[in-house]
Amino acid sequence: MTRDEDPQSLLPLSESVFQIMLSLVDRDRHGYGIIKEVEARTNGRISLAPGTLYGAIKRLRNQRLIAEVEDRVDHELGDERRRYYTLTGLGQRVVGAEAVRVADLARQAAAKHLLPGWPQITERA
């Protein structure tokens, strides 16, 4: 496996990038759809500005973590100019590896009694 194919070599992800990639795990989305999904999932804690989103999308495309979906038109929205994005196979592996990394951090914090209401886990599940 080359460095470009090793998900660990691309970690850690910024929280915004992780949220963008997470929004693409279950379906392809256009930019505004990504913004709204992230905002809803984080209860408004993360509000992506268009410049932030499209800068991240450009970097993610250059890293081959996401791709533009060709020939995708949503006639219900009445706007054929919307570009839809999807996770690539590498993107799926990277966002999964980041989720595992963050979960491990949470387990470590729980073991130190820093997460009220979480079970006190002392070993990795």
Model confidence over 71-80: pLDDT tens digits? 766 555 555 6
Say what the pLDDT of residue 124 is: 53
The answer to whether the predicted template modeling score (pTM) of the entire model surpasses 0.95 is no
Helix axis angle for 31-41 and 50-62, nearest 10°, is 110
* Six-digit token string for 108: 């470590």
Query: What is the average pLDDT score of the chain?
Result: 89
For the chain, the distance separating the N- and C-terminal CA atoms, rounded to the nearest angstrom, is 27
Residue (of 96, 95, 82, 93) closest to 20 by Cα position: 95
Categorize the per-residue pLDDT at 68 as very low, low, confident or very high, splitting at 50, 70 and 90: very high
CATH architecture of 14-111: Orthogonal Bundle (1.10)
β 66-68/84-87 pair status? antiparallel
